[in-house]
Amino acid sequence: MKGEGISPDSISYTAVLCACSHMGWIEKGFHYFHSMYDEHRIRPELDHYACMVDLLGRAGLLKEAESFIDSMPMEPDIVIWGTLLGACRVHANAEMGLRVGNMLIESDQNHDGCYILLSNIYAESRKGEDAEEVRNTMRKRKIDQVPGCSLIEVDGVVHEFLAGDRSHEKTEEIYLMWEEITKKIKNYGYNVETRAITFDIEEEEKENVIGYHSEKLALAFGLICTKPGSVIRIVKNIRICNDCHSAMKLVSKLFNRKISVRDRKRTKVWKWKILKIDKLNTSECDQPQRWQDLISTNIFQRAAYMNPFLYCAPLEATKSAS
Ligand SMILES: [Zn+2]
């Protein structure tokens, strides 16, 4: 934009700050953040502050992120606190996570994500009773959790899966396929990640709960119904969990398939040949716009029904956490 003599506006800055955050460019992020007002007289808004908290949070600079929030000239909103809470969970800072999470819940926020994050932080700290209490509070306040749902399009038809879904006509094949896949990827070091399950159940049962997440069922269906070597594209209305993340990577290797999952936050593409997970690497994965062109708008409309955030947010300017 500079080269073309075009002045950036506040939306351009959101995109730039978001990019810095994903790349881990802390100094550059602060440089651009300060240049907003210094060079263009654009006052940073809540979205820009959220990007900065995400930038610090991703880098594990949680204390700095909290101080940054304290220094804000306006009241931080739920997105900003939720971003910090998410970072606390990722970086296993239970002390700060519990403090921020409880503060949000006491302030009577009716945002399902805060309850779930807090409950997961308790569960991961082996405090199952506290985790259950958070879930109970959520139920008492009648806050519904958006159910995870994954969509895949095969031959022009959109197939929708919920976790543990058995309503699909190919259910038997799908479950058999996923069981086969699980056996194989375990040989490659896959271990079911059960830490975030709060319920008081045995380890094996936990594997069953997490083992049939909607994107896994969609993936198994995709492997059954698409040509070998073709790309598998899945859209999920909420964020993909760590366990599904690990599983997708190994399935990509084992079946030599490029797998692209568009979740609530971004598109992730696994392609084993390049030996790494690409996040918005346009040379290796489809451009977001083209991606949407490739599959019918049907799939996005249905995902949007499950979670409006998914449909509205342009990829590059996706807000961090909510
Ligand atoms: Zn999952």
Query: Which has the higher per-residue pLDDT, 147 or 182?
Result: 182
C-beta atoms surrounding 68 within 10 Å: 21
What separation in Å is there between the alpha carbon of 197 and the centre of ligand 1?
11
What separation in Å is there between the alpha carbon of 186 and the centre of ligand 1?
16
Separation of alpha carbons 68 and 80, rounded Å:
11
What separation in Å is there between the alpha carbon of 312 and the centre of ligand 1?
23
What separation in Å is there between the alpha carbon of 25 and the centre of ligand 1?
29
Residue 291 has pLDDT above 60, yes or no: no
What separation in Å is there between the alpha carbon of 208 and the centre of ligand 1?
11
Separation of alpha carbons 139 and 128, rounded Å:
17
Token pair for 50: 């959220």
What separation in Å is there between the alpha carbon of 9 and the centre of ligand 1?
37
What separation in Å is there between the alpha carbon of 106 and the centre of ligand 1?
29
Separation of alpha carbons 161 and 150, rounded Å:
5
Rounded to a whole number of angstroms, the distance between the first and last alpha carbons of the chain is 29
Q: Is 0.85 topped by the overall pTM?
A: no
Question: For strand 259-262 and strand 232-236, is the pairing parallel, antiparallel, or unpaired?
Answer: parallel
Separation of alpha carbons 29 and 46, rounded Å:
15
Q: What share of the chain is helix, strand, coil (3-state, %, to 5)?
A: 55, 10, 35
pLDDT value for 217: 95
pLDDT tens column, 73-127: 999 988 899 889 989 988 889 889 999 999 988 886 677 778 888 888 888 888 8
pLDDT tens column, 28-78: 999 999 999 999 999 999 989 999 999 999 999 999 999 999 999 999 988
**With contact defined as beta carbons under 8 Å apart, do 198 and 128 qualify?**
yes
Alpha helices in 46-111 (DSSP H): 46-58, 62-70, 78-90, 94-106
What separation in Å is there between the alpha carbon of 166 and the centre of ligand 1?
17
Per-residue DSSP letter, 264? S
Separation of alpha carbons 195 and 106, rounded Å:
25
Using a CB cutoff of 5 Å, list residues around ligand 1, an ion: 213, 241, 244
As annotated, the residues of the chain forming the CATH 1.25.40.10 domain(s) are 10-140
CATH architecture of 10-140: Alpha Horseshoe (1.25)
What separation in Å is there between the alpha carbon of 170 and the centre of ligand 1?
21
Residue 175 has pLDDT above 70, yes or no: yes
Separation of alpha carbons 172 and 110, rounded Å:
38
What separation in Å is there between the alpha carbon of 231 and the centre of ligand 1?
20
What separation in Å is there between the alpha carbon of 159 and the centre of ligand 1?
18
